[in-house]
């Protein structure tokens, strides 16, 4: 099988973690005779510095013409004070997701047994957690109209939170279908007690539930959900929520798995899907070889599963990660007593070796 993959390292630790995911994919390719062809392109601050725009036309074209996209992360303090269209977040990542039609962001929150003691949360609370958060990705606050105006007393800043019935139905249907293949439990998270967009969200999800009588649907306010995630995460199977809530809740939920560096993601819904870790460019550790590449490597496994239908190969990556963690290898963010501290590259090497060695 020949798979064309656009590789977009981006900024900060992006350039350190993407090569480790490529290593894992190449190991899978060698083992099974698949040919993964990587073409690298610029995005984010790196693109802005090199060619003057955060999302070059050439990068967009490459993504559209590829079978899948592997992204590191974008952004950093160097570009924070630019006009919004030039900033890596609003000027590259958001339009890329929109252009590719990636309305659903899947973030599995799974705790590996080996990391139970690496988490700061209580063992009995987190043990056995396996949640899939489905975040709406191309609507809501990040995409609504923004404006700034001067008033006699200061400024006024406006962000607009918009959702249509079609957008909610689309993501909710995916969530019901996904829940059907898991434990058949779906929790829809909103803030319907105050937000009109959330009222429409809740009405629409409730209406759609009639088509899925086998799925147990619950609704939860987002503030309660934030609390429940750390109180008793095992109550959740699939969570579906809007863009901003999903963004925040998943960073929080990542601590159940030990670190934000463990949280993968798949952005799907269009012809070409995009795979990236849930975290950002981590400027505080960039260039120090401290970044945990596992979230990106797990995202590569999701790519094999969702874009290429290579389930066994995806599981090989996931099992290799389990074995490496069981052997005690740890990057700094998941380090614990008795662990063997490794850097980004060494973690990637260990995982690639395990992929090749395992039957």
Ligand X SMILES: NC(=O)C1=CN([C@@H]2O[C@H](COP(=O)(O)OP(=O)(O)OC[C@H]3O[C@@H](n4cnc5c(N)ncnc54)[C@H](O)[C@@H]3O)[C@@H](O)[C@H]2O)C=CC1
136 contributes a contact to Mg ion by CB under 5 A? no
Residue 242 binds to Mg ion (criterion: CB under 5 A):
no
Q: For residues 244-263, which are near ligand COI according to CB under 6 A?
A: 247
The token pair at 254 is 């990542």
Alpha carbons 196 and 141: distance in angstroms, whole number? 13
Give 75 or 270: the residue with its C-beta nearer to ligand X: 75
Residues in the chain: 359
User: What's the number of CA atoms in the CB half-sphere (13 Å) around residue 2?
Assistant: 2
47 is in an annotated binding site: no
Answer with the entry of ligand X, ligand COI, Mg ion, none that 285 interacts with (C-beta below 5 to 8 A by kind). Answer: ligand X
Give the interface with ligand X as residue ranges (CB under 6 A): 13, 73-76, 89, 93, 260-261, 276, 279-285, 291-292, 295, 333
280 is in an annotated binding site: yes
Is 251 labelled a binding residue?
Answer: yes
* By the rule CB under 6 A, 89 interacts with ligand COI: yes
CA distances from 251 to 255, 298, 323, 351 (A): 7, 16, 25, 24
283 is known to lie in a ligand binding site: yes
Partner from ligand COI, ligand X, Mg ion, none binding residue 346, C-beta < 5-8 Å depending on class: none
Report, in Å, the least distance between residue 75 CB and ligand X: 3
d(CA 95, CA 102): 10
Q: How far is the CB of 225 from ligand X (least distance, A)?
A: 20
Rounded Cα gap, residues 186 and 201, in angstroms: 14
CA distances from 256 to 234, 253, 297, 307, 335 (A): 10, 6, 19, 27, 15
DSSP 89: I
The yes or no reply on residue 99 touching ligand COI (CB under 6 A) is no
Cα dihedral angle (329, 335, 341, 347), rounded to 10 degrees? 50
Place of tokens 């988490």: 119
Q: Which is nearer to Mg ion, 54 or 277 (CB)?
A: 277
Find the residue with minimal CB distance to ligand COI: 89
Binding-site residues:
76-89, 97, 107, 135, 223, 247, 251, 280-292
The residues that touch Mg ion, with contacts defined as CB under 5 A, are: 247
Binding-site residues for NAD(+):
76-89, 280-292
């Amino acid at each position: 099988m020949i798979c064309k993959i656009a590789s977009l390292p981006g900024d900060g630790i992006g350039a350190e973690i993407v090569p480790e995911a490529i290593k894992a994919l190449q190991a899978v390719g060698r083992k099974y005779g698949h040919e993964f062809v990587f073409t690298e392109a610029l995005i984010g601050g790196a693109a802005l510095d090199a060619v003057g725009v955060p999302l070059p036309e050439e990068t967009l074209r490459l993504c559209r013409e590829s079978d899948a996209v592997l992204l590191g992360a974008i952004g950093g303090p160097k570009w924070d004070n630019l006009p919004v269209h030039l900033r890596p977040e609003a000027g590259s990542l958001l339009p890329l997701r929109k252009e590719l039609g990636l309305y659903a962001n899947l973030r599995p929150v799974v705790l590996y047994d080996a990391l139970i003691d690496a988490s700061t949360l209580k063992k009995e609370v987190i043990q056995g957690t396996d949640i899939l958060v489905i975040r709406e990705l191309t609507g809501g606050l990040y995409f609504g109209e923004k404006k700034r105006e001067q008033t006699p007393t200061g400024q006024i800043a406006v962000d607009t939170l918009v959702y249509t019935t079609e957008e909610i139905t689309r993501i909710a249907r995916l969530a019901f279908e996904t829940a059907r293949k898991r434990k058949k439990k779906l929790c829809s998270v909103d803030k319907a007690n105050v937000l009109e967009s959330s009222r429409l969200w809740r009405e629409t999800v409730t209406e759609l539930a009639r088509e899925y009588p086998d799925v147990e649907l619950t609704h939860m306010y987002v503030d309660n959900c934030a609390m429940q995630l750390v109180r008793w995460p095992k109550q959740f199977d699939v969570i579906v929520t809007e863009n901003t809530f999903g963004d925040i809740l998943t960073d929080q939920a990542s601590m159940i798995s030990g670190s934000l560096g463990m949280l993968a993601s798949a952005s799907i819904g269009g012809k070409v899907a995009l795979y990236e870790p849930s975290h950002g460019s981590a400027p505080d550790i960039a260039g120090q070889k401290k970044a945990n590449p596992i979230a990106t490597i797990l995202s590569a496994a999701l790519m094999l599963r969702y874009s290429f239908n290579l389930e066994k190969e995806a599981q090989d990556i996931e099992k290799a990660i389990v074995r490496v963690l069981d052997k005690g290898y740890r990057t700094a963010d998941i380090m614990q007593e008795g662990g063997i501290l490794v850097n980004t590259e060494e973690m990637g090497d260990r995982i690639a070796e395990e992929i090749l060695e395992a039957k």
